[in-house]
Structure 1
């Protein structure tokens, strides 16, 4: 999930932009369902952001004493369970978030279907974007790295295409060329003899995480400005009982 934080961040930002103009017009009972899903999304974002900070802190600390490729292995092994848990939180939330977005904006809900369905399950793919192999005497890390194309995705254009299909009465639609079969990810192998590749990967993760932090803040502002304390408190209380 670490290498997909930019995509997750851009998706959250797209949700925030659309939700900001629609939330206040909804009746209380519908707002409550959306508040619960958005609050859970916020906590999932916080969880992923914090584990990424911890991962990078471990990488930076060990980079001072060993090669960066070895430091990367140490950081991944140290935080593997926490990263998996953060990834699982997003996957577990996807259905509830989709149902909430159907209330808020059916077009938005359908054009974000790529996260769970579409031409493959993107959340599942992102959850396995970093794999550690110790099967041989030369351990390696295989990383799915997003290229510039996917990070420049224009969600408004996707939304516009979905709007036209929605008006034509299409129930299920997919903007062609968007995240097709994960073609916009490149598979990279990193071994102990490639410290430069490890450094570049850590730098890329920092950039991805910066996009996630921006999305985290915009989502926090949406919850603060568009929902009442009662709605957010109810959502937080419900989350605590799960």
Structure 2
């Protein structure tokens, strides 16, 4: 699959900046003389600029589809495809669905349509990213009950494009129970797939698998950070804020 020229150009800029920042071991990962950790000191005008065009993918309707988040962009070698969560008011309420649109140039987009059906009463769908598993193109979608994040009936679903991505997608089923992810699975050197996950109790972990079947996964728990002594001798500890009100 060939990446579009605009993406290649952007990747080149990122590589150049990273190379400049890492040319000396003692140099922090910031471009000297251009990017300063203090916003008022950064010379933003010195950063490379790329020509851009602005296009509207979807314009929501207040009270119906006015809250749009969780966007994921992919390219299938022929066109761009984007998926996102569209909610009537906010992401905490029931009724959110996953939409998608396609574009040949990334600027002009086809009318948006739904990947998911209407959720069951009291539930919501969240877009979780695309997964290219061999010849399969899957859209990963979480479903749970409205309210705090996340409901006890949390599930990760998989929808499959059984033709062009601009045609209707079919529900395959539950990919992993009591699981929500944020990114597409990444393929490991051993051929298995891995992605970070959380469960309904907001416990962090990973799921690994996806080889023998799209829904064959095993959970890997990650213990919380433990206290330790820093090199200076002072006590140190790492902690993640596990608030249920944090964004999914």
TM over 0.5: no
Quickly name the TM-score band, shorter chain normalised: under 0.3
| TM-score, normalised relative to structure 2 | 0.24
| TM-score, normalised relative to structure 1 | 0.25
Which has the larger helix fraction?
Answer: 1
Which has the larger strand fraction?
Answer: 2
